[in-house]
Amino acid sequence: MHHGKYRFIVGLLLVPLAVYAVFVISPYVQAFPIAFTNWEGLSASYDYIGFGNFVTLFHDSVFWVALRHNLFLLVSLPIIIVTLSLFFSAALNYRGGVPGARIYKVVYFFPGVLSIAIVGVLWQFVFEPRNGLLNGFLRAIGLDSLARLWLGDGKTALGSIMAVVVWGGVGFYVVLFTAAMAAIPKELYEAALLDGAGAMQTFFRVTLPLIWNTVQTALAFQVIGALDMFALVKILSVGPGGPDDATQVISLYMYTNAFSYGKFGYASAIGVTLFLINMILTLLTFRLTRRERVEY
Amino acid sequence: MALLTSPSRSTAPAVPPSPGPVRSAVGSRVLGGVSQGFLLVWGAMVVFPLLWAVLSSFKSDQDIFTSPWSMPSRWRWDNFSRAWNESHIGSYFFNSVVVVCCGVVLTLLLSSAVAYVLARFEFPGSRVLYYVFVAGMVFPGFLALVPLFFVVQNLGLLNTYLGLILVYAAHGMSFSVFFLTAFFKTQSKELAEAGLVDGCSHWGVLFRIMLPLARPGLVSIGIFQFLGMWNEYLLPLVLNTDEKRYLVTQGLANIAVTQGYHSDFSGLFAGLTISIIPVLAVYLGFHRQISAGMTAGALK
């Protein structure tokens, strides 16, 4: 009986574990040693150069520009997206649900299921200087002076890409937050009302503390997302990384180093650095946003 | 009672309107109106670019340039056939269908096997195994990109359907194992035990009792994986550089980036529309499961 049980377990696990080990575990493990080599281009030979790549990285101005952009996105995107989503969720839940709340949620969520690559191509059209939707709209309402090159102008390029992230990201968090808000017992709202709390007070004193765990998860998601940004930046940037590296981010810089320049050792060092930053920031996010969980 | 003083409504509001002074009632109505306005504006901002793209795909290039805001003067279906054939969106579409369908099926097979074992059997190392699988959700895919490329290359699987399918399935396993383990744990042990008593083997219990019972869970995770794989961009970009094997997201992005706006604007819009429609259809058909599945992942 027991013999049969273990044969069954091994039989079921063998193939999945092999596939997972080869295509997921082994690449993660290999990334670290490769980061300490000078592996370049097509040659199969390479030497271990210790922390050489990391020293180079430290003096690489493009890396610092990219890192600065990532950190800027990391701070600004969560604030914008979470604030907007909380506002929309609260509005949808206003007095227990506005008319059409279900339709709003379906519509808002839609960009979230579209491929980021498709979203990128779509917005490339929206930002197109001559016939794009955005400049066309501005001209149509008489604001010609606001029409710009958007992606081609170093001053607006990164902001334009951020707008796309917000456009695509809000819906997911609206659904997430409304689900969390719906789980709050109605008695709490009635009690707040009897105590004379207004809509604002109710939101900040009742709703927000009770969904804080969900907000925290959302922030952690944003941290991971803000360090990636690859597909949008790759598709929307003019050239690799925008005019004058105006939209350069670490993931794109890593990709370019590996698959355009063939600097595999250097690219892996960027990957490992990105990984460490990611880990620190994720832990930090959970630390900073930790609060007593409110039981209800 | 607050509820009694509020105007009667068919649906009882969760937060009854304030019974207090008139000022606050007006205030809350204004607040409600303003927030409704913002909701509508955001809805329009989400829908408008999409609608514009779909409408533009029916126009001539001339129409797009001269009157980007009007309805098509003539509905040009030939944009679609041109995109499908000449821009190869058709064959990219076919590649995507092959890779994604096989990828989803393989992910479901592999992860339900793992999840079933982890949910039903205690054995040395089973906790560790669970965390090894779930950890894949947390690590950034970028870290492993360079080694992954060489793993696939060394196996001779670059630019093949099989390579992409295996990589997709392996990367889809983390979330699926996480989700399905929880799902199998909620299923009744009694049924499985009854099956064993009746002389079913472990395999028989799995295939005749547990998997059929797990259908709803498999369907949700299948839809979720379908969307994820259909929308994947980075993996095909790195592992699939043969233009004939391009997937639809990759192919479209490539056309848009390399050809720019000046060659075939309307054809590009048609290609964009073709790649949006299947996702839109799946989403509208299953939006409840999809948002539930995605938020379940986020609330882990």
Tens digits of residue pLDDT in A237-270: 887 777 888 999 999 999 999 999 999 999 999 9
* Percent share of chain A, pLDDT over 90: 37
Q: Spell out the alpha helix ranges (H) of B87-144.
A: 89-120, 126-135
CB A247 within 8 A of CB A236: yes
Residue that has been written with the tokens 């955005």 in this structure: A134
> Would you call B52 an interface residue with chain A, using a CB distance cutoff of 8 Å?
yes
- As a whole number of angstroms, the distance between CA A37 and CA A256 comes to 18
Average the pLDDT over B111-126 and give the result: 90
| Amino acid identity, position B70 | S
Q: How many CB atoms lie within 10 A of CB B119?
A: 19
**Which of the two residues, A6 and B261, has the higher pLDDT score?**
A6
- As a whole number of angstroms, the distance between CA B124 and CA B145 comes to 32
Residue B259 pLDDT > 80, yes or no?
A: no
Residue B101 pLDDT > 90, yes or no?
A: yes
Read off the pLDDT band of A139 (50, 70, 90). confident
Work out whether the CA dihedral B289, B290, B296, B297 comes out positive or negative.
Answer: positive
Chain mean pLDDT for chain A = 86
Q: What angle do CA B99, B105, B107 make, to 5 degrees?
A: 95
CA distances (Å), origin A258, targets A36, A61, A276, B142 = 14, 18, 19, 11
Report pLDDT for B27.
Answer: 63
**Which of the two residues, A99 and B251, has the higher pLDDT score?**
B251
Work out whether the CA dihedral A6, A12, A13, A18 comes out positive or negative.
Answer: positive
Residue A150 pLDDT > 90, yes or no?
A: no
Report pLDDT for A3.
Answer: 61
**Which of the two residues, B70 and A84, has the higher pLDDT score?**
A84
Chain centroid offset of residue A23 CA: 23
Report pLDDT for A130.
Answer: 79
Helix (H, G, I), strand (E, B) or coil at A37: strand
Residue B53 pLDDT > 70, yes or no?
A: yes
| Amino acid identity, position A283 | L
Q: If we measure between CA atoms, which residue out of A274, A218, A283 comes closest to residue A78?
A: A218
Task: Give the nearest partner residue to B298 out of A5, A84, A221, using CB atoms.
Answer: A221
Q: Select from B146, B168, B211, B289 the residue whose CB has the most chain A CBs within 10 Å, as the one to mutate to test that interface.
A: B146
For residue B264, give every residue at least 6 positions away whose Cβ sits within 8 Å of its Cβ, in sequence order, or none. Answer: B61, B82, B87
Q: If we measure between CA atoms, which residue out of B274, B278, B281, B235 comes closest to residue B252?
A: B274
Report pLDDT for B260.
Answer: 57
Report pLDDT for B20.
Answer: 44
Report pLDDT for A291.
Answer: 57
- As a whole number of angstroms, the distance between CA B266 and CA B251 comes to 16
Tens digits of residue pLDDT in B133-154: 988 887 777 888 899 999 999 9
**Which of the two residues, A286 and B249, has the higher pLDDT score?**
B249
Q: A133, B43: Cβ pair inside 8 Å?
A: no
Work out whether the CA dihedral B61, B64, B66, B71 comes out positive or negative.
Answer: positive
CB B39 within 8 A of CB A98: yes
Task: Give the nearest partner residue to B68 out of A5, A113, A131, using CB atoms.
Answer: A131
DSSP code at position A39: -
Q: Work out the widest C-alpha separation in chain A, in whole angstroms.
A: 81
CB A268 within 8 A of CB B146: yes
b/e code A75-103 from CB counts within 10 Å (16+ = b): ebbbebbbebbbbbbbbbbbbbbeeebee
> Would you call B153 an interface residue with chain A, using a CB distance cutoff of 8 Å?
no
**Which of the two residues, B196 and A81, has the higher pLDDT score?**
A81
Q: A96, B14: Cβ pair inside 8 Å?
A: yes
Residue B11 pLDDT > 50, yes or no?
A: no
* Chain A residue whose CA is closest to B45: A167
Maximum mean pLDDT: which of A236-245, B67-76, B115-124: B115-124
Q: Where are the beta strands (DSSP E) in A134-182?
A: none
> Would you call B192 an interface residue with chain A, using a CB distance cutoff of 8 Å?
no
Average the pLDDT over B82-93 and give the result: 86
If contacts are CB pairs under 8 Å, which of residues 7-26 in chain B contact chain A? Answer: 11-18, 20, 24
- As a whole number of angstroms, the distance between CA A204 and CA B276 comes to 39
Q: If we measure between CA atoms, which residue out of A53, A196, A216, A44 comes closest to residue B154?
A: A44
Tens digits of residue pLDDT in B209-233: 888 888 888 888 888 888 889 888 9
What are the φ/ψ torsions at residue B283 (nearest 5 degrees)?
-65, -50
- CA-based nearest distance B268→chain A, Å: 9
Chain mean pLDDT for chain B = 82
Residue B3 pLDDT > 70, yes or no?
A: no
CB-defined contacts A:B, below 8 A: 282
DSSP code at position A292: P
Read off the pLDDT band of B105 (50, 70, 90). very high
Report pLDDT for B17.
Answer: 46
Average the pLDDT over B80-84 and give the result: 86
> Would you call B280 an interface residue with chain A, using a CB distance cutoff of 8 Å?
yes
For residue B103, give every residue at least 6 positions away whose Cβ sits within 8 Å of its Cβ, in sequence order, or none. Answer: B164, B165, B168, B169, B172, B225, B229
Read off the pLDDT band of B255 (50, 70, 90). confident
Report pLDDT for A185.
Answer: 85
- Which chain B residues are closer than 8 Å to A172 by Cβ? 294, 298
* Chain A residue whose CA is closest to B40: A104
* Chain B residue whose CA is closest to A237: B257
Report pLDDT for A264.
Answer: 92
Q: B173, A16: Cβ pair inside 8 Å?
A: yes
DSSP code at position B208: I
Report pLDDT for A131.
Answer: 77
User: What predicted TM-score, i.e. pTM, was given to this entire model?
Assistant: 0.85
- As a whole number of angstroms, the distance between CA B233 and CA A117 comes to 6
* Percent share of chain A, pLDDT over 70: 96
Average the pLDDT over A33-44 and give the result: 84
* Percent share of chain B, pLDDT over 90: 29
| Ramachandran region, residue B153 (left: φ > 0; alpha: ψ -120 to 50; beta: rest) | alpha
Report pLDDT for B204.
Answer: 83
Q: A117, B265: Cβ pair inside 8 Å?
A: no
- As a whole number of angstroms, the distance between CA B218 and CA B224 comes to 10
Report pLDDT for B300.
Answer: 44
